[in-house]
Amino acid sequence: MPKAISVRSRPLGIFDSGIGGLTVADAIRERMPGEQLVYFGDTAHLPYGDKSEESIKKWSVCIADFLLAQGCKAIVIACNSISAVAYSAVKKRVGPGIPVINVIDPVVGHVCSEKNFKHVGVIGTKATIRANVYAAKLNRKRPDMTVSSLATPLLAPMIEEGFFNNSISRTIINDYLSRTKLKKIDSLILGCTHYPLIRPEIDAFYKGRIEVFDAAGIVADAVKAVLDSENLSYSGKRKPQHHFYVSEYTTAFEKSTRIFFKGKVRLQQKNLWR
């Protein structure tokens, strides 16, 4: 029993190609306030969306090693590009005994358990859309479902620069959502952890005509379910000490964290590739 208590007290590791994954971290913090978080954002290499699969896998495995060295009891890949390309590589590196949760499987399961959607749209980075993982997983569960995927590469950098809920963001969002590929969808998956921040603008575009799914809350619920099922959830009382690392620090990155995570974030630079 003492060993199990010790394991439950260990931190939860979360990583992303940048700081957008803090939307997932924030949702996890809300649902599991006692859990200590160790977050790593690979800001030196962002965006991952237009990087090669080989590079994404190499960097992701290295970050997983870092989180394991911090004693993390489970790892959350809070990035669609990494989940699409490197989930298997990370899971293999981590090995048995430590859960690895990606952001795609919980969303796919959630969408397929909802209404009987016939035509699902997916928007995300070039890497996520190129990997075609959402379509493959959705069609595996629902062969009758049509999936239309569209790369929306301007959205993540736009959000990180603070351009949302204004005329610039509305113009870009409306242009993407008006593309022919998304014309007849009855639901839309926001396949990037940045996109919850523009959810209100996307909802405004559709005016309730379709169902919109973003990953943050869905993934946080899935993480809680995994920790509970594996007897890894922290159940005591404490004020957790979260740690936030980035591979390249700038004051702009630290200021941008306020967009994604409620509460003060102090970024520490940790270059894993020196």
Residue 182 pLDDT: 98
pLDDT digits (tens, 9 = 90+) for 181-234: 999 999 999 999 999 999 999 999 999 999 999 899 999 999 999 999 999 999
Residue 249: what pLDDT? 95
Domains of the chain: 2-102+217-269 (3.40.50.1860), 104-215 (3.40.50.1860)
* pLDDT for the residue 263: 83
Tally of CB atoms within 10 A around 173 = 22
Q: Which helix (H) or strand (E) holds 102?
A: none
Residue 231 CB contacts under 8 Å (≥ 6 apart), including other chains: 4, 8
- pLDDT given for residue 115 in this prediction: 80
Per-residue pLDDT at 8? 94
Q: Can you say whether residue 268 is alpha, beta or left, with left for phi > 0 and alpha for psi between -120 and 50 degrees?
A: beta
Query: What are 111's two structure tokens?
Result: 């969408």
What's the pLDDT score for residue 154? 94
Question: Using H for helix, E for strand and C for coil, what is the string for 200-262?
Answer: HHHHHHHCCCCEEEEHHHHHHHHHHHHHHHCCCCCCCCCCCCCEEEECCCCHHHHHHHHHHCC
Q: Token digits for 34?
A: 């006692």
In this predicted structure, what is the pLDDT of residue 3? Answer: 45
Confidence at residue 164, expressed as pLDDT on a 0 to 100 scale: 86
Instruction: Give the C-alpha separation, 231 to 3, whole Å.
Output: 12
Report, as residue numbers or ranges, the catalytic residues. Answer: 79, 192
Intervals of the chain under pLDDT 50: 1-5
